[in-house]
């Protein structure tokens, strides 16, 4: 079905990278724009590609002084990208940044290979991971909001009768028809998501009546949130060593010695989270807003842990939850090579708790800290996140 395809139900658009499709990675950046290295961003793009089922056949990195409105990069770098991508036999070029529709179209024409930007790739992964009706609705909403401004004369065929998205188009009349159908579908999806939000509100009110305290588990994607939920509560949340393994929030209860805490596993964050995803996943993200406290899980075994932690903080500020009572859990401590590494981390995060969700280590002090925060007995952890 290629990169784009249509399921024959309710004009449901699903973006796809076919398994083992040959992918060429292009990590682009404007000089001085980001505070983390191109190599680290290249590694993240590799992780995203692996989650999308792609097979990396080549890579290129480039810093530009000033982005070109037509192609983002200059002519020399564009020629290099074309030559290397064609030589590699790539079927798709994945770009590490978000491009304008014009830039995508121009790079495609220059390279004669389909181009997908960062948000398109993330949406593809979300489409693969969404299992519940709620998750699929929110993913489809994000996809349509992303696709609408990208419709061109080559057209999106919003039809059950055939054709793929991004193939040769049927002309402007059909294009306007497609746009109208997409806008109508977006409106219906937003109504459905609003119903989900209202339903979740009723559930939360029921928990409040039972005086159950709630803790939202947040963190960068693949930080070990679902593994931690399973270990604490005996849940069976899906766990896989890939980014965005979990999209649908799962809430389970922790009970011990009369203590009862509801933990909610939430969708993983990522640096520069696409705005369309934030808007489409409001029903899910409200679980964080409405929680009594936040458990911020950091994968300290990852070489880019510091930048990922900052990215999560930034997203929490945008969601206006950064002031909530919180506890930081430094996960995967079993991957640390020496006691000195542990001491260094605790100096950097003096209020944090070292844990290993996989080996169920460090849980006693973690629960004690959470209980203290929830009971309002101490401010420890409140400003840790």
333 — phi, psi (to 5°)?
-65, -20
55 — phi, psi (to 5°)?
-115, 110
Task: Report the alpha-carbon distance of residue 84 to residue 60 in Å, rounded.
Answer: 8
Res 251 pLDDT > 50: yes
DSSP alpha helix (H) spans, 112-244 = 118-129, 133-147, 172-209, 225-233
Low-confidence winner among 8-12, 41-45, 73-77 (lowest mean pLDDT): 8-12
198-224 average pLDDT score? 80
Each residue of 290-328: pLDDT tens digit? Answer: 889 999 999 999 888 888 999 999 999 988 898 999 999
Pick from 367, 368, 369, 371: which is nearest to 349 by CA? 369
Q: Residue 62's pLDDT is what? A: 86
The two three-digit tokens of residue 365, written as one number: 């002090």
Res 384 pLDDT > 90: no
Q: What DSSP string runs through 306-365?
A: HHHHHHHHHHHHHTT-TTS-EEEEEE-GGG--SHHHHHHHHHHSTT-EE-BTTTTBSHHH
Q: Which helix (H) or strand (E) holds 250?
A: strand 250-256
Looking at per-residue pLDDT, the higher value among 1 and 82 belongs to: 82
Could you give the domains of the chain? 4-125 (3.40.50.11060), 132-190 (no CATH), 212-375 (3.40.50.300)
Q: With helix as H, strand as E and coil as C, how does 324-337 read?
A: CCEEEEEECHHHCC
Low-confidence winner among 91-105, 199-213, 329-343, 350-364 (lowest mean pLDDT): 199-213
Res 15 pLDDT > 70: no
Q: Is 55 helix (H, G, I), strand (E, B) or coil?
A: strand
Strands 250-256, 259-265: pairing is antiparallel
Q: Residue 9's pLDDT is what? A: 33
Task: Report the alpha-carbon distance of residue 82 to residue 98 in Å, rounded.
Answer: 19
Positive or negative, the CA dihedral 107, 280, 270, 358 is: negative
107-123 average pLDDT score? 92
The two three-digit tokens of residue 182, written as one number: 């997409």
Res 121 pLDDT > 60: yes
Q: Residue 242's pLDDT is what? A: 61
341 — phi, psi (to 5°)?
-65, -40
Task: Report the alpha-carbon distance of residue 249 to residue 12 in Å, rounded.
Answer: 22
Q: Residue 3's pLDDT is what? A: 32
Average pLDDT, the chain: 81
Could you tell me which residues come within 8 angstroms of residue 341 by beta carbon, excluding any fewer than 6 positions away? none
Determine whether 32 is exposed, middle or buried from the number of CB atoms within 10 Å of its CB (0-12, 13-18, 19+): exposed
Q: Residue 70's pLDDT is what? A: 94
215-223 average pLDDT score? 92
Res 176 pLDDT > 60: yes
Task: Report the alpha-carbon distance of residue 54 to residue 39 in Å, rounded.
Answer: 19
225-240 average pLDDT score? 80
Looking at per-residue pLDDT, the higher value among 148 and 365 belongs to: 365
344-366 average pLDDT score? 93
Strands 4-7, 12-15: pairing is antiparallel
Res 127 pLDDT > 90: no
């Amino acid at each position: 079905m290629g990169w784009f395809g249509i399921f024959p139900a309710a004009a449901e658009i699903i973006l796809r990278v076919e398994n083992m499709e040959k992918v060429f990675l292009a990590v682009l950046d404007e000089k001085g724009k980001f505070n983390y290295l191109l190599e680290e961003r290249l590694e993240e793009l590799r992780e995203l590609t692996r989650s999308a089922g792609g097979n990396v056949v080549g890579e290129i990195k480039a810093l530009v002084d000033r982005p070109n409105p037509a192609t983002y990069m200059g002519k020399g770098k564009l020629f290099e990208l074309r030559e290397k991508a064609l030589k590699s036999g790539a079927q798709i070029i994945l770009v590490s940044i978000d491009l304008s529709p014009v830039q995508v179209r121009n790079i495609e024409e220059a390279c004669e290979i389909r181009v997908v930007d960062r948000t398109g790739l993330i949406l593809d992964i979300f489409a693969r991971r969404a299992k519940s009706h709620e998750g699929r609705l929110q993913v489809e909403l994000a996809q349509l909001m992303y696709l609408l401004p990208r419709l061109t004369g080559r057209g999106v065929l919003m039809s059950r009768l055939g054709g793929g998205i991004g193939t040769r188009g049927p002309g402007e009349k059909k294009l306007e028809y497609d746009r109208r159908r997409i806008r109508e579908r977006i409106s219906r999806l937003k109504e459905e998501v609003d119903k989900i939000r209202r339903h979740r509100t009723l559930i939360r009110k029921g928990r409040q009546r039972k005086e159950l305290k709630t803790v939202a588990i947040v963190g960068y994607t693949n930080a070990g949130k679902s593994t931690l939920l399973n270990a604490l509560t005996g849940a069976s949340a899906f766990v896989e060593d890939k980014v965005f393994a979990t999209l649908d929030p799962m809430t389970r209860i922790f009970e011990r010695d009369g203590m009862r805490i509801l933990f909610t596993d939430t969708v993983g964050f990522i640096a520069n989270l696409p705005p369309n995803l934030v808007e489409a996943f409001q029903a899910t993200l409200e679980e964080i807003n409405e929680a009594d406290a936040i458990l911020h899980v950091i994968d300290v075994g990852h070489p880019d842990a510091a930048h990922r932690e900052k990215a999560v903080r930034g997203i929490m500020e945008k969601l206006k939850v950064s002031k909530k009572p919180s506890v930081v859990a430094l996960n995967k401590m079993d991957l640390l090579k020496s006691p000195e590494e542990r001491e260094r981390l605790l100096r950097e995060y003096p209020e944090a708790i070292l844990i290993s969700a996989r080996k169920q280590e460090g849980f006693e002090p973690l629960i004690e800290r959470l209980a203290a925060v929830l009971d309002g007995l101490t401010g420890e952890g409140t400003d840790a996140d």
